[in-house]
Amino acid sequence: MDIWKFLETEFKEICCVHPLTKYLSRDWPGQTAISLLVELSSGHFIYASTVIRYIQSPKHQSDDRLKVILRLRPPHDQDQPYAQLDTLYYFVLQGVESPGQLEKICLLFGILYFLSHKIGFF
């Protein structure tokens, strides 16, 4: 239920402050979309938070970005606890526009991976 409240609050914020808010329908995103996002998050706030950051990009229409997220599905053979989150991250990383940005992201992931295995951080 907390993820539901988080998403509702964040979507209301997007509707109020997003530069392209005039293109959003009055009832956007709708209860069905929020319900599906809650289901897709599988109880992980990081999924919901990443989705919101993706959707609230000021350079893009929020409703278009939400439609893209709602269509993402992990491969059928991927029966893993974080399959939906992996699919989301894979999609978002594909959209990185600058090789320099991607290099920094990979470096950060490498550091986190090293820390998690070296000192049991995660």
Domain boundaries, the chain: 2-71
Q: pTM for this one?
A: 0.73
- In 3D space, the residue among 82, 88, 87 whose CA is nearest the CA of residue 50 turns out to be 88
Greater model confidence, 19 or 103: 19
With bands split at pLDDT 50, 70 and 90, how would you rate the model's confidence at 73? confident
- So what's the pLDDT on residue 83? 79
| Res 21 pLDDT > 80 | yes
Tell me the torsion sign for CA atoms 52, 57, 58, 60. negative
Mean pLDDT over 80-105 rounds to 76
Give the residue ranges of DSSP H helices in the chain.
2-17, 31-41, 45-55, 62-71, 83-94, 99-118
| Res 88 pLDDT > 90 | no
Mean residue pLDDT across the chain: 84
